[in-house]
Structures are given as structure tokens and as C-alpha cells.
Amino acid sequence: MTADAAALLFRTTFGSDPTGVWSAPGRVNLIGEHTDYNSGLCLPIALPHRTFVAAKPREDDLVRVVSAQGDGLVEVPLAEVAPGRPGGWAAYVAGVPWALRRAGYAVTGLDVAVDGRVPLGAGLSSSAALECAVGAAASDLFHLDLLAGDVGRTTLAAACVDAENTIAQAPTGGMDQSAALLASEGHALLLDCRDGHTEQVPFDLSAHGLALLVVDTRAQHALVDGQYAQRRDSCEAAVRELGVASLREVPAEGLEERLSALSSDVLRRRARHVVTEISRVQQAVTSLRSNDFRAVGELFLASHASMRDDFEISVAELDTAVESAVAAGALGARMTGGGFGGSAIALVPADRAPAVQATVREAFAARGFRSPDSFLVTASGAADRDR
């Protein structure tokens, strides 16, 4: 139990027992990529992999943080937390009480010990898992009562986004924090990024002899942040040229004619991805609700092709994961997350999972890629108190 590990780290670091232990999950997005900042739709599930934080409030303003995956104790007065301060991983922790205070909540300093079991930097949202576990702890420790319902949880998610954007200075659209705080076991979370509306969509593959495989490609590519900014800029340029409030307003019907008004082929392809991807999320929800998993698999493949060809955010490792999974019997597969590395997902018959994993591993070896990590996941629960 990593709740035990977090509590033990707390005791050995700070010399007393924590008030409690809280945890929050990583996520994979089933479909709907680069749609969040286009007022679109996405469909994440919470992972069984969680980040645990043991915490205790302080009388003074000091924030002290230690992590089993960090590099020593970091101390900063809450009043001195600012963009880039503290630097590094501790920003994801200290940014949360900072953001809650900025949102008007009475928050003091605290001691925090972290043990994360979400793979770091694999596109599975270890950053939001960390923020949201700290947010859950802060909600209870400072009696903010933000965990009791969706309204409070949405408020807490916004504070965690603020922490990541402003203090850790990482751009993020909000899907990760919503998944970590609002997802429910056995369900995918349909998130409408235009108005924040959410719906729970049943996602219990085991009842249908299926499973979801995550392939962490462990691929490392430079320039990821720059590419993300470029894609956002292209979407904004397309919005301006089309004279719409967002790409969400552009219907999928008659799309090509509409796109012909754009000034370049690149803008046409970027906008085409976003508009068709939003439509694929809607179709995937309909297919899941009617247990049509073949259709879901085909939507995964269409989504991957769109990201590879139109949005141009895939890389050879992600394409290899998708192609080899399908060759070994997956109903469908796609890269998930921002792109340029990270993870892919595959919808597989449960009894084919080991064969798919072996085939993917062999395909990576044949191309001289780093050996990928892969594991089966189920839709798990949101951030909460563990003890």
C-alpha cells in the first residue's frame, strides 16, 4: 500500500504522524485529443495508478514537501510562492494551497509527503494526480468541504489547473484535473470543455470480454512544449479566419467546403482534426452506450490517423504501438495525450492481451526503439481520503 509508504515518509521526514493520507489517480483519455482548448469534448478515465500524499496542517505559513520521487526536502513560505518559485516538482505541490488562497480560501502552511505510482512524464497525468491529491488533502485539512460534491470538486479542479499553469508554468487545458477529481469507477468522464458540463459514461470492458491496454512508449522527443504552443496558435488562427467563437462551433457536416475558406493547407488540416475529433467523441459515447465496441475500435483508429496525418503530433513509436497492437488482434488503438511521445491505448479482447503486449514489444525491438512498458487498466475512482 503506498498510503503506508507516504505516511512512513511523512514520519521519517517530519518526526510526527500525518493527519491523514489522500490520493488521486492518473488518467488516460479514451478519445478527444487537443479538443479541450477548442471548447470541445474529451472522454478520460481515471487510472488505477494513484499518487498518495500524507499531510498535516501547520500553524505558520510554511509549506514543506518531500517526495519519494523527488530530490530532498523543499521549504517555501506560502506568501513567497510565485511563478517559477519553488522550481521543479515542488511547484505542483506548493502551487495548490497558493491557488486556493488566491481563490479566496483560508489556507495556512502544511507539511506534505508524496508517494506517486503514476508513471512520471508518460502522458498519464502524474502532474494532475499530484496536484489533486494535495488539493483533496487541503480541502479536508482546512475544512473547505470541496470533496463532497461535483460543484466543490470542480472548484478544486480549477485551483489545481491554476497551480499547474501559473506556478509550475505548464500549459494545460483542464482535462487532467477534471478526470482526477470527477471520474467515477467503471465509467468514463464525458467532459464538455465549452461549459464544464460532465456526464458519466459506463465503461466496464470486462463485462464484455474486453480490456484496455496502455502502452507507455518511453519515447523522449525534444520540443514538445513548442509544438503544443504551435498547435494552439494554429487553432486560434483558424478560428479567426473562419469568424467563429471556437472550432466547437464548426459542424462536421459540410466541413470540407467550410475549410476551403482557410488560407493554408496546414490550417485546414489542423482544424479538420479538431472538428472531426469532437464528432468522434460524440460517436464513441453513443457506441459505448450501445456496447458497440467494434465501432469504438474503429473510432480509435480514425482518431489516430487524424492525429498522425492532420494534426501531425504522432511519432514513429506511437504509430508502431498502434499498428502492431492492431496486427495482433486489437479492435482499435490510438495515441493518447498531447503527442510526440507518451502513451498509446489499445482496445483488446481480454484473452489476447498478452499476445498484443508481446507483439508490440517485438515490433519496438525490431525498430531499435526503447523497450515499451505496457499494462491493463480499468476505469477507477477519483481523488479521495484514504485514511
The item of Mg ion, ligand ADP, none sharing an interface with residue 116, based on CB under 5 to 8 Å by kind, is: ligand ADP
Q: How far is CA 385 from the centre of its chain?
A: 20
E strand or H helix at 230: helix 224-242
Check residue 123 for interaction with ligand ADP (CB under 6 A).
yes
E strand segments, the chain:
20-29, 41-42, 44-57, 62-67, 74-77, 110-116, 187-192, 198-202, 210-216, 332-336, 343-349, 373-377, 384-385
* Residue 234, all three cell numbers: 494554429
Task: Pick the binder of ligand ADP from 10, 14, 89, 105 (CB under 6 A).
Answer: 89
Pick between residue 105 and residue 340 the one whose CB is nearest to ligand ADP.
Answer: 340
Residues 149-178 that bind ligand ADP (CB under 6 A): 170
Pick between residue 164 and residue 310 the one whose CB is nearest to ligand ADP.
Answer: 164
Q: What is the residue whose three cell numbers read 519515447?
A: 219
Q: Are 5 and 103 in contact (CB under 8 A)?
A: no
Check residue 66 for interaction with ligand ADP (CB under 6 A).
no
| Residue showing the smallest CB distance to Mg ion in the complex | 127
Q: How far apart are CA 33 and CA 304, in angstroms?
A: 10
Q: Is 176 a catalytic residue?
A: yes
Annotated catalytic residue within 36, 140, 176, 386: 176
Q: Are 140 and 147 in contact (CB under 8 A)?
A: yes
Residues 255-284 that bind ligand ADP (CB under 6 A): none
Q: What are phi and psi of 212, to 5 degrees?
A: -110, 120
Binding mask 115-134 toward Mg ion (x if CB under 5 A, else -) reads ----------x-x-------
Check residue 130 for interaction with ligand ADP (CB under 6 A).
yes
The item of Mg ion, ligand ADP, none sharing an interface with residue 121, based on CB under 5 to 8 Å by kind, is: ligand ADP
Check residue 57 for interaction with ligand ADP (CB under 6 A).
no
Task: Pick the binder of ligand ADP from 10, 22, 37, 92 (CB under 6 A).
Answer: 92
List the catalytic residues.
Answer: 176
